[in-house]
Structure 1
Amino acid sequence: MMNFNKISIIAVAMFAAGSAYAQNAEIGTWAGFRKGAASFTFDDGAPSQVSDCGPVFDKYGYKATFNLVYNWNPNWSGFQSMADSGHEIASHSNSHGNNMSGEEASSKTNIAGKIKQKYGIITVAYPNCNVPNERSVLQNYIVGRICNGSWQGMSDIMGKNGPSNWAKTPAIMTGSEGQIRSTNDFTGQMQKAAQSGGWVAFLTHGFQGKNNGYATYSPTDLSAIEGALKWAKQNDKDIWVAPMGFVAMYIKERNAAKIEGQTGSNSMTFELKHSIADNVSKYDYPLSIRVKSDWSKVEVTQNGAKIDSKIESGYIYFDAVPNGGKIVVSNGNASSGGNGGNGGNGGSVT
Structure 2
Amino acid sequence: MKTLRLLFVTATLLAFKTITYAQQSVWNNKQCAVVLTYDDAIDADLDNVMPALDSMNFKGTFYLIGSSPVINSRLSEWRLAAKHGHELGNHALFHPCDGSLPGRSFVKADHDLSKYTVARAVDEIRVNNVLLKAIDGKSKRTFAYPCGDRQIGNVYFYDQLKKDFVGARGVSGGMPSAKDVPLDNINCYSINGHSAEYMIDLVKKAQQTHTLLVFLFHGVGGGHSINVDAQAHSKLLHYLKANEKNIWIAPMVDVAEKISTYQTGVSKAIGK
Give the TM-score range, shorter chain. Answer: 0.7 to 0.9
Bigger Cα Rg: 1
Letter paired with 1:32: N
Partner of 2:251: 243
1:1-350 alignment, distance < 5 Å: 27=22, 28-73=24-69, 74=71, 75-99=74-98, 101=118, 102-115=120-133, 116-117=135-136, 119-132=138-151, 133-149=157-173, 156-163=174-181, 165-176=182-193, 181-208=194-221, 210=222, 212=223, 216-256=224-264
* Rounded Cα–Cα distance in structure 1 between residues aligned with 2:51 and 2:138: 22
Q: CA deviation at 1:44?
A: 0.5
Partner of 1:305: none
CA contact (8 A) 2:87 2:141 kept: no
CA contact (8 A) 1:76 1:114 kept: no
Q: Which has the higher contact order (CA 8 A, sep 6+)?
A: 2
Query: Identity of aligned pairs, percent?
Result: 21
CA contact (8 A) 2:52 2:234 kept: yes
Query: Alignment RMSD, CA only?
Result: 2.7
Q: Deviations over 1:279-331 (max 9, x none)?
A: xxxxxxxxxxxxxxxxxxxxxxxxxxxxxxxxxxxxxxxxxxxxxxxxxxxxx
Higher helix share: 2
* Rounded Cα–Cα distance in structure 1 between residues aligned with 2:25 and 2:252: 16
Q: Deviations over 1:140-188 (max 9, x none)?
A: 2121111123xxxxxx11112252x322111111023xxxx12211111
* Rounded Cα–Cα distance in structure 2 between residues aligned with 1:118 and 1:250: 21
Distance 1:126 1:255, change over 3 A: closer
CA contact (8 A) 1:41 1:203 kept: yes
**Unaligned residue ranges in structure 1 (runs of 5+):** 1-22, 150-155, 259-274, 276-346
Partner of 1:12: none
Q: CA deviation at 1:128?
A: 1.0
Letter paired with 2:203: M
* Rounded Cα–Cα distance in structure 2 between residues aligned with 1:117 and 1:254: 27
Q: CA deviation at 1:200?
A: 0.8
Count of matched residue positions in the alignment of Structure 1 and Structure 2: 223
- The normalised TM-score by structure 1 is 0.58
Q: CA deviation at 1:119?
A: 4.7
* Rounded Cα–Cα distance in structure 1 between residues aligned with 2:47 and 2:123: 29
**Unaligned residue ranges in structure 2 (runs of 5+):** 1-17, 99-112, 152-156
